Copies of this chain bind each other. A is one copy, B any other.
């Protein structure tokens, strides 16, 4: 996918439904040419609001449907705008479940105008089943107590800090937002179940011995809807290093009222145990908290307490940076 991006926010009502766009804008401001909103849209990236023609004039190459709605559907109300974008000269990319390529008017317009449609949620390469065989290069995986606790943010912060220190490192995207940020990747929750670990082996191939792949985790071993994805990802990643991600004080697991998130120590032990199947030398190297709902003093207390309990550096990737975790990683 070619950058810069123009963001299509449609008529979504809140920031959460546009979290894909917000994530890209946070991590890759240099990719962001502007935003396009339909009447009634309830979110903004605070980018220039521009039309398709103007976006092309400013150099934008791809319209990102940066939306995460229930069911992953492309609203019929959006289609005329997407067709207009293609006619104006933009490629279109979406991470939704429903495919851009399955909308006849849009596909026709893309063929006519020589533009491309990217459905990043759907793997386009043939996958293999995982082998479990150890491959050269080093790998770090972020895992979590729950879905949406900040695994992608932690991974991208680690990439930034490691590159700043001159460490040879690559962010490996496993979800739609990550793929828009990296420009490539595989949505592991969208592959056929037989190929989960194989997809991750393909995503993070053999590399030079000192190179670090920083692999974005998905779901949680403790989430009854998605733990299979998380386990296959863990086995395919063969991580040398695990970073544990948590959002403190969640009242329940995402989407499952009444189901409490696991204790961090329990999460740590279960992930280390499971990871040993494909990498017996796996090590925990840190904890990344999302402390946006805590006061600064609550966050500080939590990190000190957890550091004492687990003997691991604790950070908030956004508020404090991930330096102490990278210190630990480079020792490995």
- A228 is contacted by which of B190, B197, B224, B273 (Cβ under 8 Å)? B197
A221 to B277, CA, bound (A): 9
A194 touches B131 (CB 8 A): no
Distance (whole angstroms) from the CB of A147 to the closest CB of chain B: 11
For chain A, residues 199 to 240, give those with C-beta under 8 angstroms from any C-beta of chain B: 221-222, 224-233, 235-236
**A88 interface residue (CB < 8 Å to B):** no
**A100 interface residue (CB < 8 Å to B):** no
Q: Which residues in B have their C-beta under 8 angstroms from that of A224?
A: 130-132, 197, 235-236, 277-278
**A146 interface residue (CB < 8 Å to B):** no
* Copies of this protein in the complex: 2
**A66 interface residue (CB < 8 Å to B):** no
Cβ contacts A277-321/B at 8 Å (1 or 0 each): 110000000000000000000000000000000000000000000
A75 to B265, CA, bound (A): 52
- A196 is contacted by which of B130, B228, B236 (Cβ under 8 Å)? B228
Q: Which residues in B have their C-beta under 8 angstroms from that of A79?
A: none
**A129 interface residue (CB < 8 Å to B):** yes
B229 touches A228 (CB 8 A): yes
A227 touches B277 (CB 8 A): yes
**A192 interface residue (CB < 8 Å to B):** yes
**A326 interface residue (CB < 8 Å to B):** no
**A193 interface residue (CB < 8 Å to B):** yes
A193 touches B189 (CB 8 A): yes
Distance (whole angstroms) from the CB of A271 to the closest CB of chain B: 12
A246 to B236, CA, bound (A): 24
**A256 interface residue (CB < 8 Å to B):** yes
The residue of chain B having its C-beta at the shortest distance from the C-beta of A236 within the complex is B224
**A198 interface residue (CB < 8 Å to B):** yes
Assuming the contacts A222-B277, A224-B278, A228-B197, asked whether A132 and B192 have C-beta atoms less than 8 A apart, the reply is: no
Cβ contacts A128-157/B at 8 Å (1 or 0 each): 011110000000000000000000000000
A197 to B220, CA, bound (A): 13
- A191 is contacted by which of B129, B192, B270 (Cβ under 8 Å)? B192
A273 to B271, CA, bound (A): 13
The residue of chain B having its C-beta at the shortest distance from the C-beta of A278 within the complex is B224
Distance (whole angstroms) from the CB of A236 to the closest CB of chain B: 8
**A329 interface residue (CB < 8 Å to B):** no
The residue of chain B having its C-beta at the shortest distance from the C-beta of A273 within the complex is B270
Give me the interface of A with B, judged by CB distance under 8 Å.
129-132, 188-194, 196-198, 221-222, 224-233, 235-236, 256, 259, 270, 273-274, 277-278
8 cross-chain CB contacts under 8 A: A190-B193, A193-B232, A196-B229, A222-B277, A224-B235, A224-B236, A227-B277, A231-B231
